């Protein structure tokens, strides 16, 4: 079994609660969603066996965690089962960046993932279909992990989608932090003002920890 890998690189995490941490990124090719704001369109990949990929990353050391990103890594979940069993002996912290819609696939690798950075995909932001049921199922599986939720919001984002996100998170009694990430394409004073209103909706709905955090790597001009 081989995986389609778009790139492997070491850099600083630029998003979410672990922004600033040195990570080794494995970017998986392919995604099950097509978000209008996607900033990582992938046109090329190389195929790796699990052992090939293990050898490739063995040259790196000193990083905080191994980031599985994409695309959507869980599209290739069966490969991840094999790969993570190989790297388990070296026990790097495994950081999964996911769109939070593939619960069955996540279940296959849950025990080998340490940190989950899960998106909530708002239909008014993505331009796609609602994923509330998929997100709810994913959260039930991931809630006991070290998890935070990322919500990307732009000028098209509707307050009712933020309120629906608050309801989605309500069963977890405020235990899951939320990162509100301004859509890079819409960055500006108007959007940042709206983000404060979105934060208020989440806090009033019971989410105890809400951060408004832009993409730091884009601000810094790094990969």
- Render each residue's pLDDT in the chain as its tens digit; 223 residues: 899 999 999 999 999 999 999 999 999 999 998 887 776 767 799 999 999 999 999 999 999 999 999 999 999 999 999 999 999 887 789 999 999 999 999 999 999 999 999 999 999 999 889 999 999 999 999 999 999 999 999 999 999 999 999 999 999 988 999 999 998 888 888 998 999 999 999 999 999 899 999 876 655 566 6
The CATH number of domain 2-220 is 3.20.20.70: yes
Q: Tell me the two tokens of residue 24.
A: 């080794």
Report d(CA 149, CA 155) in Å as an integer.
Answer: 20
- Rounded to 5 degrees, φ, ψ at 11 are -165, -175
Two tokens at 162? Answer: 């933020």
The CA distance from 26 to 90, in Å, is 16
Calculate Rg over the CA atoms of the chain: 17
Q: How many CB atoms lie within 10 A of CB 3?
A: 24
| Confidence (pLDDT) at 119 | 97
Q: How far apart are CA 124 and CA 180, in angstroms?
A: 15
**Which of helix, strand or coil describes residue 206?**
coil
User: Model pTM?
Assistant: 0.93
Q: Is the peptide bond before 71 cis (omega within 30 degrees of 0)?
A: yes
Q: Where are the domains of the chain?
A: 2-220
Q: Kindly report the length of the chain.
A: 223
Q: Which two tokens stand for residue 49?
A: 């066996």
């Amino acid at each position: 079994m081989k995986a389609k890998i778009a790139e492997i690189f070491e850099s600083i995490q630029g998003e979410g609660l672990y922004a600033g941490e040195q990570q080794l990124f494995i970017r998986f090719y392919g995604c099950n969603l097509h978000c209008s704001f996607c900033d990582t369109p992938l046109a090329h990949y190389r195929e790796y066996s699990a052992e090939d990929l293990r050898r490739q990353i063995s040259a790196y050391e000193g990083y905080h965690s191994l980031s599985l990103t994409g695309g959507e890594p869980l599209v290739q979940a069966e490969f991840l089962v094999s790969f993570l069993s190989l790297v388990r002996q070296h026990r790097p912290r495994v950081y999964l960046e996911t769109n939070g819609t593939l619960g069955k696939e996540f279940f296959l690798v849950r025990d080998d993932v340490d940190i989950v950075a899960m998106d909530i995909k708002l239909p008014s932001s993505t331009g796609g279909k609602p994923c509330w049921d998929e997100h709810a199922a994913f959260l039930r599986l991931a809630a006991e992990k070290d998890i935070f939720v990322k919500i990307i919001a732009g000028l098209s984002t509707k307050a009712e989608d933020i309120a629906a996100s608050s309801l989605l998170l309500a069963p977890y009694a405020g235990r899951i932090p939320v990162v509100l990430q301004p859509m890079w394409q819409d960055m500006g004073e108007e959007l940042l003002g709206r983000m404060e209103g979105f934060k208020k909706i989440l806090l009033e709905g019971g989410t105890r920890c809400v951060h408004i955090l832009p993409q730091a790597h884009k601000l810094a001009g790094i990969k």
